[in-house]
Structure 1
């Protein structure tokens, strides 16, 4: 997903504004300390629906009434406007989609938001934003019943920000790599979400995981029931023999002694009945028949729901692909027909009525195209409907169980027998009891402990496992780690990394996000690498490699931008100017440090161009810096001098 930042705007309560425009590729904002550079990360993070504001208190929060970021998403634009914390509306936001970067965005005024609704972020604005960028997985849990503390719930744009920001206190940190990973729950969630964020798995994967666990539980239960049934054969034979013997006594017949359970069941299914009551039915029979009919209807309802679930799984992806094609078609459409100058080719006179009709047609086309483009990569999640159908399915299954129990109860209840007033009713009752009892025994064997049922469950599990193999998470892990390793080592070779640690062998494990360098002495952790230059080189290598991994995965939903705050601080802990240095040794060191900073920008630009060459997408890297040099002047979009009262505000 090609998501970059096009514009940042801050409005005050009088409608006055401060803005910055960004482009693809390398964007450098340089200047003195305390000019507002670092606040840019916090404003962008705030407009990505952070639950709290980290925008520095002072000039920016005093001025800012509304913070706006315009995101470029493939071929359209999303404008997010979020009121400042001081307004009391930080739980609300504006969101608007535009098909073109026109004057309303280029020269944005506070009036742009007059016709937009200020809506709740949670379950509204943020959800809509995520749908436009293709984030529509509503359940990351791999089980139907999950502890609330471990409930991962819906995938969120907030799960991507750890890959987007490197603050000045993080860019060369030896103890931490990723933004806000001090929160253990957030760290675990991001790590577990990585395959989804990079597009390796989707919502169906998690549903298959849930099905797999449920099927394994069912198989385990089925095996227990089979064992119990095997151990209860003697009791079953005794109970059935006594029941048939009672019936035979009523009709003056004698039952053979040496009959097997199978023989008894055959007799019970074909019980002899006196001719005088052959065509009669007892109330018990009628009641059982009513329950059986009701149960058959439930089976039909269950079949309809199962068919609907199958259809939903097959069609969920089609709508999303169709919406993407509409946006792709629109991106190639140009409507430049001048409908006001059509004239007769013979007499050169204008035809007003035709011109008016064409104008109406053009307006209608433009409205239609705008509506189509607003589909963008809009992706609706069928999971809520699927969950509802599954809930109804379970409800019907429970009702079937209840009906079956009622049938069994009617067949074995002694009360009906005791209330029978004559021999005819007793015979009919006992016959119905035995037949229902045998039916219950058969169901217990065939449905709750039959080897065929167990085989079916195992076959179902095999199908689920086969579908899971299509995702191949192990291959995703191996390929991703191999890709990161190759690129980290390649990038780090170009940066300032100590010779004594070479040859470079950087490794990253995507299962726990552990990072280490390996040499003849074994694994070396980041905090053991010994210098700020090594830590900076490691951070840059990791994040540039992740940027490349993100963009090469076409289904990735991680934005294609990276913001680095003061990577030069390793070489210039405090802002200093060359003309202020008098010591020759310090001057030589300054020049060497400048060369290292120049090299950082050179590497950043090389990686941007390499990614563009390999993927066709040009990522965006924004560097907030206080070092300045003419060699990277062409990438500088802002240069703030504090003595000239320049800055974000």
Structure 2
């Protein structure tokens, strides 16, 4: 499925739209001076195609643009993709996508967040026909599998300014962490060394291996029970005797008796009593424990009451003692007797008195009160003593009940322990019954296992076929064969550009991700070829050779190449004003630039209309074939990617 770019559009914050129209199936050149936005153009396209970050540099573009967009041309439709500009350093997921036979690029007020960038990438993955594949990780390696999508095809579509003449890296984003391994893992799928249905075959192989393992496990279980003839059966019978399941007369009966006894053992079941479940309401242990807890509470209450009664009794004893001490002192002077006699004699001074004085009345009243209190103490004391005795009797009764309950609980728990032991014994017996059952069933093992082994044999044939098809070595050999085919174009084109080492065979090393020239003295990698002209030339040779292969083999990769400033090695940006070849000092360099572009045009024409090449460059060759390929105004003077009045309005 062909995918090319026919428009790049920027939406300004001022509501205006800036369009750059491109021609499908042809060379498209954006030429201009430095600092005009040429390098940003490649980053904008990649951002719209799902890049995880926006590499557009800070400056006028970031300050003035709200949305970036591209219009893609497929064989059967057009797809418009707009993506909101980043907020700060974070890339935006907000996207707007339209699909139709002839899509009209919308104005800014028509844009909305009608999808997200992940959905856009998913659509492109399906549209291009990227197969549902997961990369394979060799055994012993810990890296994660990669689910292949359209994102991984971008490595073969772009060459940025700092990549196109780099001798250390060959592919787009190769200098970033983890990317080299991703390229190595996904390249076989995009080239076609890995069949598109490889994932289906891989899953089928896993399923077949699981089925085979299950069958082998069944066979192994039967063999392990069968053992050496009937010896396993005799061992089972001896184990049954040890567990009390077999009342033996002879532990080595004949084979027929052995099978009969083991059959009986296989039907063993625990007694019905041991299987009965006791609910909580009828559990005697639970009832006794509840009674024990209630008596403990009652015992605690009695203890508190007894303590209070004893405190009361002790205080009453103290009062009685004080009263008796007082009465005893009065009795010692015979005061009670004197006040109980006649009133003609003073009880204190014993002088003659004709009548009772007020003082006599007070003393007499106090003596009567004391006598009443002594009498009250004597009356209540028996009641307090009786209450304390009653409490002590109840306490003795409760203690007796607690001892009996504790004894009963201990007996039940001891019985439960015996039951648990019986349960453990039953479990062991049940296991033995299961072994005996499986052993008896395996007596006809030879007949049963033959069917299983036939099934295993059929699975082995299928597994062998799929394993051979999925063999990593086969994949590696196929990839090398295809890279050899690609190497033919690389070698021929390197000679067309008169690159260093082009007299030798030139190839792509997929293991080291570099270009290698095979010389009589050994392979020479790109890093050792010397000169920026060679590095740039071999980048272009490799990318165009891969593009040709993708097209001819109908691989799911976009049908365009975006190249940023390939001629920088001939006239650096800071020395270029017009881009005219006259700015290049050496005649051979001017000829090399012209030759380079003519070669690009030649390759694109040979693949027309399947391949589109977009070049942003300083070069501006004053010849018709070149000028006809220049798109948009030349970005010099007042012209640039972002119109001047956009950022002048912002600055105001």
Structure 1 length-normalised TM: 0.64
Match of 1:137 in 2: 132
Instruction: State how far apart, in whole Å, the 1-side matches of 2:444 and 2:137 are.
Output: 35
Match of 1:84 in 2: 85
Unaligned runs of 5+ in 1: 274-280, 287-411, 420-428
Query: Does the aligned pair in 1 maintain the 2:8–2:69 contact within 8 Å?
Result: yes
Measured after TM superposition, the shift of residue 85 of structure 1 is 0.9
Structure 2 residue 172 is the aligned partner of structure 1 residue 174: no
Query: Does the aligned pair in 1 maintain the 2:85–2:91 contact within 8 Å?
Result: yes
Post-superposition Cα deviations, 1:540-599, rounded to whole Å, max 9, x if no partner, equal 111110111111122x22111111111111111244469999xxxx98944432321111
1:478 to 477, 480, 500: 480
SS in 2 for 1:482: helix
Instruction: State how far apart, in whole Å, the 1-side matches of 2:532 and 2:156 are.
Output: 21
Match of 2:402 in 1: none
Instruction: State how far apart, in whole Å, the 2-side matches of 1:95 and 1:644 are.
Output: 31
Unaligned runs of 5+ in 2: 273-422, 644-652
Q: How many residues align?
A: 486
Q: Where in structure 2 are the equivalents of 1:523-602 lying within 5 Å?
A: 523-554=523-554, 556-574=555-573, 575-576=575-576, 589-602=585-598
Match of 1:186 in 2: 179
Match of 1:459 in 2: 461
Query: Does the aligned pair in 2 maintain the 1:139–1:154 contact within 8 Å?
Result: yes
Structure 2 residue 615 is the aligned partner of structure 1 residue 611: no
Match of 2:508 in 1: 508
Q: Where in structure 2 are the equivalents of 1:142-221 lying within 5 Å?
A: 150-201=143-194, 204-209=197-202, 212=205
SS in 2 for 1:174: coil
Instruction: State how far apart, in whole Å, the 2-side matches of 1:491 and 1:433 are.
Output: 75
Instruction: State how far apart, in whole Å, the 2-side matches of 1:189 and 1:447 are.
Output: 47
Instruction: State how far apart, in whole Å, the 1-side matches of 2:429 and 2:631 are.
Output: 96
SS in 2 for 1:38: helix
Match of 1:350 in 2: none
SS in 2 for 1:170: coil
Post-superposition Cα deviations, 1:156-212, rounded to whole Å, max 9, x if no partner, equal 222111111111221111111111112342211122112323455466413533554
Measured after TM superposition, the shift of residue 528 of structure 1 is 1.2
Relative distance call for 1:211 and 1:264 in structure 2 (3 A) is farther
Instruction: Between 445-454 and 203-212, report the one with greater CA deviation.
Output: 445-454
Match of 2:6 in 1: 6
Instruction: State how far apart, in whole Å, the 2-side matches of 1:588 and 1:133 are.
Output: 42
Measured after TM superposition, the shift of residue 81 of structure 1 is 1.0
Match of 1:111 in 2: 109
Query: Does the aligned pair in 2 maintain the 1:141–1:206 contact within 8 Å?
Result: no
1:491 to 470, 484, 493: 493
Q: Where in structure 2 are the equivalents of 1:47-446 lying within 5 Å?
A: 47-86=48-87, 90-102=91-103, 104-105=104-105, 108-113=106-111, 116-122=112-118, 124-135=119-130, 137=132, 139-141=134-136, 150-201=143-194, 204-209=197-202, 212=205, 222=216, 226=220, 229=223, 233-234=227-228, 236-242=232-238, 257=253, 259=255, 415=426, 434-439=436-441
Structure 2 length-normalised TM: 0.64
Instruction: State how far apart, in whole Å, the 2-side matches of 1:88 and 1:227 are.
Output: 62
Post-superposition Cα deviations, 1:343-392, rounded to whole Å, max 9, x if no partner, equal xxxxxxxxxxxxxxxxxxxxxxxxxxxxxxxxxxxxxxxxxxxxxxxxxx
Query: Does the aligned pair in 2 maintain the 1:4–1:559 contact within 8 Å?
Result: yes
Match of 1:521 in 2: 521
Structure 2 residue 627 is the aligned partner of structure 1 residue 633: yes
Post-superposition Cα deviations, 1:79-120, rounded to whole Å, max 9, x if no partner, equal 111111137983323242332234x22xx411332xx54434
SS in 1 for 2:631: strand
Q: Which has the larger radius of gyration?
A: 2
Measured after TM superposition, the shift of residue 265 of structure 1 is 7.9
Instruction: Between 149-158 and 587-596, report the one with greater CA deviation.
Output: 587-596
Measured after TM superposition, the shift of residue 494 of structure 1 is 0.9
Measured after TM superposition, the shift of residue 479 of structure 1 is 3.3
Instruction: State how far apart, in whole Å, the 2-side matches of 1:146 and 1:430 are.
Output: 41
Match of 1:333 in 2: none
Match of 1:371 in 2: none
Measured after TM superposition, the shift of residue 42 of structure 1 is 0.5
Relative distance call for 1:239 and 1:48 in structure 2 (3 A) is same
SS in 1 for 2:549: helix
Measured after TM superposition, the shift of residue 47 of structure 1 is 0.7
Post-superposition Cα deviations, 1:595-617, rounded to whole Å, max 9, x if no partner, equal 211111111111112223xxxx5
Query: Does the aligned pair in 2 maintain the 1:137–1:202 contact within 8 Å?
Result: no
SS in 1 for 2:607: helix
Measured after TM superposition, the shift of residue 460 of structure 1 is 4.2
Match of 1:623 in 2: 615
Measured after TM superposition, the shift of residue 39 of structure 1 is 0.6
Match of 1:377 in 2: none
Query: Does the aligned pair in 2 maintain the 1:5–1:71 contact within 8 Å?
Result: yes
Post-superposition Cα deviations, 1:512-548, rounded to whole Å, max 9, x if no partner, equal 4342112222111112112122212211111110111
Relative distance call for 1:7 and 1:265 in structure 2 (3 A) is farther
Relative distance call for 1:43 and 1:165 in structure 2 (3 A) is same
Instruction: State how far apart, in whole Å, the 2-side matches of 1:120 and 1:206 are.
Output: 27
Relative distance call for 1:472 and 1:268 in structure 2 (3 A) is farther
